[in-house]
Amino acid sequence: MPEGSSPDREIIEIREERDIVICRQACREWAKSIGFNLVDQTRITTSASELARNIHDYAGFGEVIIEEVENSNGRRGIKITFTDRGPGIPNVEVAMNEGWTTKGSMGMGLPGAKKLMDDFYITSKVGEGTTVIIWKWLPF
């Protein structure tokens, strides 16, 4: 178990491309163990893959924290936090537009991840890094 990990959460360092695969697999296992159906497992895994790839491609390194959570209404779900100390995003609002990219890709990473999840939070500061937090809730 990685340093800082516990039965309540798992920490995955993103340093190499293979770490993206490790992140995908861990997120799928957590989603499955929490009780998400196959469709939601796929949504969670796809979002996590996109965001872990952003860490790798833009920051070079960072970490992912996967947790089972419960909200104030007693609803259970998964929370995944992606943090890096990379260059940051100069304009988050623009970066959240579909099709916007700095790498010549399809530009679906951030907005695509947001669409697949129930809740999405992003903060970024140029020269300090970016944090993205995503949540998916089990249906009642």
pLDDT digits (tens, 9 = 90+) for 76-131: 999 999 999 999 999 999 888 876 555 544 335 899 999 999 999 999 999 999 99
Residues 6+ apart with CB under 8 A from 122: 89, 92, 96, 110, 130, 131, 132, 133
- The reported pLDDT for the residue numbered 3 is 57
Residues 6+ apart with CB under 8 A from 21: none
pTM for the structure as a whole: 0.90
What pLDDT does 95 receive?
87
CATH code of the region 9-137: 3.30.565.10
- Token representation of residue 26: 């861990």
Q: Which of 109, 112, 123, 11 is nearest to 51 (CA)?
A: 109
CA atoms within 13 A on the CB side of 71: 13
CB 42 within 8 A of CB 89: no
As beta bridge partners, residue 130 has 84, 124
Q: Residue 112: which residues within 8 A CB-CB, separation 6 or more?
A: 46, 47, 50, 98
The helix (H) or strand (E) run that includes residue 104 is none
Domain boundaries, the chain: 9-137
